[in-house]
Structure 1
Amino acid sequence: MRVNKISRARRRTAVGLSLAALAAGVTTGSGPAVAQPKAAPAPPAECSPAYRIEQKLSTGTTWRMCWRYDTKAGLVLENVSYQPKGEPKPIKVLASARLGQIHVPYDDGNIEYDDLTGQRFAQGLQNLAPTECPGGTIKTIKVRDPDYSDTQDIKALCTTTRARGHAYRMQADEDFGKIYQAQGKDLLVYTVNKVGWYEYMTEWRFQDDGMINMNVGATGSLSPVDYDAGDGRGWPIGKGARSKATSHSHNVFWRLDFALDGSSKDRIEQYDSVVSPPARGQYAPTNKTTRTKVTKELAGDAKNMRWWRVVSATGKNKDGHARSYEIVPGATAKYPGRSYTKHDVYFTQYNKCELFASHNPGCERGHPQSVDKWVNGQSLTHPVAWVNIGFHHIARDEDQQPMPVHWQGFSIAPRDVTAMSPLTPAALAGQNGEPR
């Protein structure tokens, strides 16, 4: 919630970060040791060392990327590549990944905010204490204030590794019931930005199996001046029926510019499955999946058994299958109050000025300012993906004080990027295709 419903006090806080490569954590597995391939020559650097993130995880996967800090979007990750063990060179995944907007409308209809383009999100970057980045490093970001032409050094960018639990577990039918298991490892990159009373934790998790998780967590404090909600538009969190905190939504957009295998000419495909009752003579229902090639700009809605994937135009795995990444939406509460929040996914043709999902600055006069208006039938030769995940925040007693983090986000999952799981133990490497 906000400092007040008309304006917010300008908050400037020092922040800092230090990035550098981290020591890989230990991952265990009871399967046989995996022979490591000969190290390939290091790929050419796409940014200077100060703006480079490179991390080899203990399971053999290496993630590489560059970072920069935008005066409105905050942290931007670029040239993201993934190199699992056994692959001779990095596999390019994303040209650019960042937030596309945080839209916050209040249930009483009195106000709404566009935090990235209207509420100085980037200038609210926060310093991180060493204990907030356990086992990692914090890199300093220079934050420029476009309104006052000054710059602050803020220790704000944490890069570390985290265990995520089981990556897999399998008890073999043969080999005397041997158990194969491994503990998964992630590279975590995150910053914290303060807007009014809220603090947004923007995190990117890069898994050793090629998955990328994007999440925003809202924490901080409920606004002390937003306790005047009427019935149905708030929740009492003080004694009795007093102090009704005004409910509101957080509609978070991410903007992803894929570049699978280094090409921007990716293809978009939509898949829908339909379950039919058993036909005469059949025992069980049937399920048929159909593929639709998305060749023009699309405003897409999530439905049961519907998903999208971004397909490489140039790269194939060792099985000869086109590499792709599947978009996996997280839990969402879709907000129908604005045209640009009515859809879950947008695929638009690349336009260098189309950077924010709502109240987008920087385009020529007359250019539409929201992502829904950019979907106008253009052919997709260089698609940009926009993912909208909503959260309707109805406060509760446990939200004070401070407010626990509430997360919203989604993932992109590798689909046929490698011929087998990049974490397959050596003893099972021959089991590609139909089991023998």
Structure 2
Amino acid sequence: MRTGQTPGRARTTRRTAALAASAAAVLTVPALAAVPATPAAAAPGAPNPDCRTSNAIQQTMRGGVWRMCWHTTSTAGLVLEDISFQPKGEAKPISVLKSAKLAQIHVAYDNAAAEYEDLTEMTLGDYPEPLRGKDCPGGTLKKIPRVDDEADEPRHKMINGLCVTTAERGFAYHGNSGDIGEATDKKDAEQGQDLVIYTVNSAGYYHYINQWNFSDDGTITPKAGATGNLSPSDFDASDGQGWPVGKGGAKDRAVSHHHNIFWRLNFGPDGAPGRVEQYDTKHTGSKDGIPTYRTSRTRVAKEKGGDTSPKAARWWRVVSKKGKNADGHARSWELVHHNPRKYAGRPFTKYDVYFTQYKKNEQYASGNNDFGRGRPAHVGKFLNGEQLKHPIAWVNVGFHHIARDEDQTPMPVHWQGFSVAPRDVTAMSPLTPDRLRKPQYNGEPQFLGEESARR
């Protein structure tokens, strides 16, 4: 929350001046481009020959190798491009996303006292927080630009603001091989690991953790964590729309508000635009008193928005038009998402997921028209029935922040996010132990007997 905070006002003024100078530059020029640098040869295995060595990330994990490029912008902050995963046993990397970034952080107060668009209005990407070694445990800190508020003229200074590290994520799997016919029953259990990439950007009193987890099984998890401090100027007992915080609570009530966070995903499965499919599971009746269900598939051929409500039991995947796994099944990437705190106050928050046809001037879920005349204002207006030849996915996750005593101070992180999971990208999990990578364990198990299983 930021009501009455001077730095937020200053940022808005700078943003207006920058847009007047060049709206296109904000969208297309990485902030790092202003930093003198000599282009270097691409690192071995780098995903793109145009990705400078310093802007390439490559991490070998037990299940495969992640590769990508990165840069920052004054609005979205961290932008990841040319993301690929090379599962164990695959001869070459498999392209997943051409680009991925935050598309808006919309904050609306329950008492209608304020409403913010932290990317497009507050230029969130201009204000990364400096990170210390202990803020990036076991990892590497990389330099990114930050607006220097102390300078007489707006300019950037370089700070240690991007962390690239790895982290344990708990069990990757746990099972008994005897259940699938291995002659000698073995306990198979492994802990999973993530490549973790993040910045911390400030907007008023809030600090947002813009984090991307890339798991060793091929899953991508974008998430945003909100922390910082409750705004000192937003304690108002008179409107009846806050929560008592502090002694007694008769006077101090922190105003409740919504955080509506959007991500923009430009899929490129196997290096080309994919096709979108929607799946719905419905109750069809019963058999012997037990409910029966059926899942149907619908091709999403035109621009569309949709919800992931429990009643609909709906989900989507983006399918490769040319890539298949070793079993002959089309590779795809599934959106694993739900939106339990959806905000109904604005037309662009109507749906949990939007699929739109790619257009260069459609970059932000709201405030998009701030970057040039003739641009549609928000993602709801991007939907006009066009054919999905190059689909862009917009994912909306809401959170209703009703403050509590424990939010003081600094505020514990509350997270919003979703996952992009591999579906039929490989014939078996890239984490499957080598001894189980045999035909009799792929599909219905073949119980071959002790001698056959040992061969």
In the alignment, which residue of structure 2 is the partner of 1:288?
294
Amino acid at match of 1:130: G
Residues 115, 274 of structure 1: CA spacing in aligned structure 2 closer, same or farther, 3 A cutoff? same
385, 388, 391: which is aligned to 2:393?
A: 385
Select which of 405, 420, 430 maps to 1:397.
Answer: 405
Deviations 1:13-38 (A, max 9, x none): xxx9xxxxxxxxxxxxxxxxxxxxxx
CA distance in 2, matches of 1:249, 1:128: 27
Instruction: Return closer, same or farther for 1:429/1:45 CA change in 2, 3 Å cut-off.
Output: same
Question: Given the alignment of the two structures, is residue 435 of structure 1 paired with residue 445 of structure 2, yes or no?
Answer: yes
Deviation at 1:302, TM superposition (A): 1.4
CA distance in 1, matches of 2:116, 2:205: 13
**Is the alpha carbon distance of 1:337 and 1:350 closer, same or farther for their aligned partners in structure 2, counting shifts above 3 Å?**
same
For the pair 1:49 / 2:53, whether they are aligned, the reply is: yes
1:194/1:137 Cα in 2 relative to 1: closer, same or farther (>3 Å)? same
The CA deviation at 1:10 is 4.0
In the alignment, which residue of structure 2 is the partner of 1:185? 193
For residue 258 of structure 2, give the secondary structure of its aligned residue in structure 1.
Answer: strand
Aligned to 2:272: 263
Is the alpha carbon distance of 1:10 and 1:124 closer, same or farther for their aligned partners in structure 2, counting shifts above 3 Å? farther
SS in 2 for 1:86: coil
- Once the two structures are superposed, the pairs formed by residues 287-436 of structure 1 within 5 Å of their partners are 287-304=293-310, 305-361=313-369, 364-430=372-438, 431-436=441-446
Distance 2:201 2:6 in 1: 20
Work out the CA distance in 2 between the residues paired with 1:42 and 1:144: 30
Mapped partners of 1:53, 1:92: distance in 2? 14
Judge conservation of contact 1:143–1:152 (CA < 8 Å) in 2.
yes
- By how many angstroms is 1:238 displaced? 1.3
Q: Structure 1 residue 434: deviation in Å?
A: 1.1
Give CA deviations for 1:349-373 in whole Å, capped at 9, x if unaligned: 0000110000114665233210001
In the TM superposition, what is the alpha-carbon distance from 1:144 to its structure 2 partner?
Answer: 5.8
Distance 1:189 1:254 in 2: 16
Deviation at 1:322, TM superposition (A): 0.7
Does residue 254 of the first structure (1) align with residue 263 of the second (2)?
yes
Distance in 2 separating the partners of 1:296 and 1:204 = 29
Distance apart, 1:46 and its partner CA: 4.1
| Per-residue deviation, 1:148 | 4.7
Task: Please list, as runs of the form range in 1=range in 2, the aligned pairs for 1:20-31 lying within 5 A after superposition.
Answer: none
Alignment of 1:151-166 (within 5 A): 151-166=156-171
The CA deviation string for residues 98-151 of structure 1, in whole angstroms up to 9 with x for no partner, is 000000000101210000000121121110010010110000013468995522
For residues 226-253 of structure 1, what are the alpha-carbon distances to aligned partners after superposition, in whole Å with 9 as ceiling and x for unaligned?
Answer: 0014454100101112210000000000
Report the more deviating stretch, 345-354 or 360-369. 360-369
Aligned to 2:110: 107
Which is further off, 156-165 or 232-241?
232-241
Give CA-to-partner distance per residue, 1:260-314, whole Å, 9 cap, x none: 00002x10000001123315xx452211111010000001111222100011111
Distance in 2 between the 1:87 and 1:237 partners? Answer: 55
Contact preservation (8 Å) 1:4, 1:223: no
Distance in 2, Cα, partners of 1:60 & 1:379: 36
User: 235-244 or 184-193: which moved more?
Assistant: 235-244
Query: Which range is displaced more, 145-154 or 224-233?
Result: 145-154
Aligned partner of 1:4: which letter? G
Q: Does 1:87 pair with 2:90?
A: yes
Query: In the alignment, is residue 235 of structure 1 matched against residue 240 of structure 2?
Result: no
Matched residues in 2 for 1:87 and 1:346: separation? 32
Task: State the match for 1:126 in structure 2.
Answer: 129
2:203 to 166, 177, 195: 195
- Higher mean displacement: 207-216 or 138-147: 138-147
The question of whether the paired residues in 2 share the 8 Å contact of 1:106 and 1:247 is answered with yes
Residue 61 of structure 1, CA deviation: 1.4
2:2 maps to: 2
Per the normalisation by structure 2, the TM-score is 0.85
Return the alpha-carbon distance in structure 2 between the equivalents of residues 129 and 289 of structure 1: 49
Matched, 1:150 2:159: no
- Residue 209 of structure 1 aligns to a residue whose secondary structure is coil
TM-score of the aligned structures, taking structure 1 as reference length: 0.89
Q: Residues 429 and 124 of structure 1: is their aligned pair in 2 closer, same or farther, counting only changes over 3 Å? A: same
Which residue type is aligned with residue 166 of structure 1? Answer: F
- The count of corresponding residues between Structure 1 and Structure 2 is 406
1:197 positional shift:
0.4
2:46·2:67 contact (CA, 8 Å) conserved in 1? no
Counterpart residue type for residue 434 of structure 1: E
| 8 Å contact kept, 2:47–2:67 | no
Report the Cα distance in structure 2 between the residues aligned to 1:225 and 1:144, rounded to whole angstroms. Answer: 25
What is the RMSD computed on CA atoms of the aligned residues?
2.2
Aligned partner (choices 259, 272, 275) of residue 283 of structure 2: 275
Query: Could you tell me how far 1:427 is from its partner in structure 2?
Result: 1.6
Q: Output one character per residue of 1:77-96: Cα deviation in whole Å (capped at 9) or x when no partner.
A: 00000011100000000000
Residues in 2 aligned to 1:363 and 1:381: alpha-carbon distance in whole angstroms: 25
CA distance in 2: counterparts of 1:96 and 1:237, whole angstroms: 41
Task: Check 1:203–1:421 CA distance in 2 against 1; reply closer, same or farther (3 A cut).
Answer: same
**Conserved 8 A contact 1:71-1:145:** no
**Secondary structure of the structure 1 residue equivalent to 2:119:** helix
Gap runs ≥5 in structure 2: 15-31, 33-43, 447-455
For residues 291 and 332 of structure 1, the distance between their equivalents in structure 2, rounded to whole angstroms, comes to 24
Relative to its length, the structure with more helix (as a share) is 2
CA distance in 1 between partners of 2:45 and 2:77 (Å): 32
Structure-2 change in CA distance of 1:47 and 1:113 (3 Å): same
In structure 2, the residue matched to 1:116 is 119
Question: Aligned equivalents of 1:105 and 1:308: distance in 2?
Answer: 28
**Native 8 Å contact 2:47 2:68 kept in 1:** no
